[in-house]
Amino acid sequence: MDERRWNRAVVTGGAGFLGSHLCERLLSEGSEVWCVDNLVTGSRANVTHLEEHPGFTCVEADVTGPGCLEAIPGPVDLVLHLACPASPADYLRLPIQTLEAGSTGTRNCLELARRDGARFLLASTSEVYGDPLEHPQREEYWGNVNPVGPRSVYDESKRFAEALVTAYRRTHGTDTSIVRIFNTYGPRMRAGDGRAVPTFIRQALDGEPLTVAGDGGQTRSLTYVDDTVDGIVALAAAAFPGPVNIGSCEETTMLDLARRIVDLTGSASTIRFVDRPADDPARRRPDTSTARRELAWSPRVDCAEGLKRTVEWFARSALL
């Protein structure tokens, strides 16, 4: 693996949950960081602690707009494209914007990378596998996606983005890579973003019933944010184009997750079962052999420790 480091990096979606952690990491390694975010789902609060850093600049802009990235001075040597609504509640509320982030937004970011000969990394998702018929999911698996279902605006946005990135690599020789991120959690998630971990924690801390979809038997592989950041940075530093799965092999059911959070918070909350959303995947776990082989990456924070840290952050957070 190459040990590349960057003088000037651009992180789109940099004021979001994951993007803010990436900005923080790159700054700690000596990079100048340009954070670009339209703040539709991101928040200035996520990067407030970085504002006084001399190497940090936050630009409020929409990556789908014409000329949106022209103000970023060159040369840049790394473009990390994370800008896109990522939770079901957000992309169901913003379907057109989600599709535009994967299409026009991705192309604009690729053009920035092409302009300066920069390394480009697309933050794709395990959602490209849909409701998988293969388990665990390898990068070679083509997926089982409903192209007209309610989740398709996100799934197909990312699948198109992957195709566009691949086309730029083949046609223009752009130095690209694709990371497929599995369910990531940790500090700075929005309490009301609709994903299981922040929803369960908020409900438990407020003494409300935890709303588990279906019978709670569906599984996810939860990855603590520090591990996901490690994987993204390792792929950016490598010559490997991907796609690469980054996620935990520690699979858990949603019912078990709810019970663990009740225990961690010491809450008296009960479990309430609700209807399961359409096209909700039954199982989700990555095959991470490519990440281990190409990046020497594997997660280090187990679910018990990661949930403990996340609950502690939410407990003291002003968001609650």
pLDDT digits (tens, 9 = 90+) for 62-111: 999 988 888 788 899 999 999 999 988 899 999 999 999 999 999 999 99
Interval 151-158 mean pLDDT: 94
Contacts of 269 (CB under 8 A, 6+ apart): 203, 204, 207, 208, 209, 210, 262
Give me the catalytic one of 154, 168, 185, 224.
154
Cα-based angle 59, 64, 66 (whole degrees, multiple of 5): 85
Q: What percent of the chain has pLDDT over 90?
A: 85
Per-residue confidence (pLDDT) for residue 4, from 0 to 100: 67
What pLDDT is recorded for position 3? 55
**283-312 pLDDT tens trace:** 889 999 999 999 999 999 999 999 999 999
Cα–Cα distance list, 162 to 38, 228, 229 (Å): 22, 19, 20
Q: Which residue has the higher pLDDT, 3 or 59?
A: 59
Work out the pLDDT band at 280, boundaries 50, 70, 90: confident
pLDDT per position as a tens digit, 161-197: 999 999 999 999 999 999 999 999 999 999 888 899 9
Q: Does the pLDDT of residue 318 top 70, yes or no?
A: no
Structural domains in the chain plus CATH codes: 8-185+224-249+284-300 (3.40.50.720)
224 is catalytic: no
User: In this structure, are residues 236 and 4 in contact, taking their beta carbons and an 8 Å threshold?
Assistant: yes
Contact partners, residue 165, CB within 8 Å, separation at least 6? 106, 110, 120, 122, 176, 178
Mean pLDDT of the chain: 93
CA distances (Å), origin 144, targets 64, 216, 279: 28, 21, 10
Distance (Å, whole) CA 306 – CA 204: 17
Banded pLDDT at 319 (limits 50, 70, 90)? very low
Residues whose CB falls within 8 Å of the CB of residue 52, separated by 6 or more in sequence, listed in order: none
* Per-residue confidence (pLDDT) for residue 317, from 0 to 100: 82
